[in-house]
Amino acid sequence: MSGLFGDGQAIALLLFAGLLSNEVWRMLGLAIGGGVDENSEFLIWVRAVAAAILAGVIAQILISPPGALATVPGVVRFGAVAVGAAVFIATRRSVFAGVVAGEIVVLAGKWWMG
């Protein structure tokens, strides 16, 4: 299994290590958080902190974009966020729909504006 995918044992080891390192924490979170009330003050605070961190990361990517995103004009990046937010709200808070709409705007804007 060499060629396009490289050594099969190396890929199997990477998949196993990736699965093992992530699944342990997911199962631990499920075991610990299974009985926690979703409306508790702590979880409301955790959701607020997570939303604030996400907003900060999005703002940082918009203002100083990394890598290939730096070649996309600012108006396209900001427009993609606006379209993504509008689609998110219009589709009854579907994160998937909002992200896909934003990505389509970025790709179309980059293609159109060069």
For residues 24 and 48, membership in a common domain is answered with: no
User: Confidence class of residue 5 from pLDDT cuts 50, 70 and 90?
Assistant: low
For residues 60 and 107, membership in a common domain is answered with: yes
Identify the domain containing residue 25 by its residue range. Answer: 1-35
For residues 30 and 43, membership in a common domain is answered with: no
For residues 55 and 31, membership in a common domain is answered with: no
For residues 43 and 25, membership in a common domain is answered with: no
Write down the pTM of the prediction.
Answer: 0.64
When pLDDT is averaged across residues 95-103 and rounded to a whole number, the result is: 94
In the three-class reduction of DSSP (H, G, I as helix; E, B as strand; rest coil), residue 20 is classed as helix
Tokens linked to 75: 């108006």
Q: What is the pLDDT of residues 31-75, one digit of tens each?
A: 887 788 889 898 899 999 999 999 999 999 999 999 999 999 999
What is the per-residue pLDDT for 2? 53
- pLDDT at position 1 over 60: no
Please give the Cα distance from 92 to 86 (Å, whole number). Answer: 10
User: Confidence class of residue 4 from pLDDT cuts 50, 70 and 90?
Assistant: low
Q: How many separate domains does the chain show?
A: 2
Please give the Cα distance from 65 to 46 (Å, whole number). Answer: 27
For residues 46 and 12, membership in a common domain is answered with: no
109 neighbors 72 (Cβ within 8 angstroms):
yes
What is the per-residue pLDDT for 94? 93
Residue type, 70: A
CB atoms within 10 A of CB 77: 22
Q: What is the pLDDT of residues 79-88, one digit of tens each?
A: 999 999 999 9
- 103 or 11, which is more confident: 103
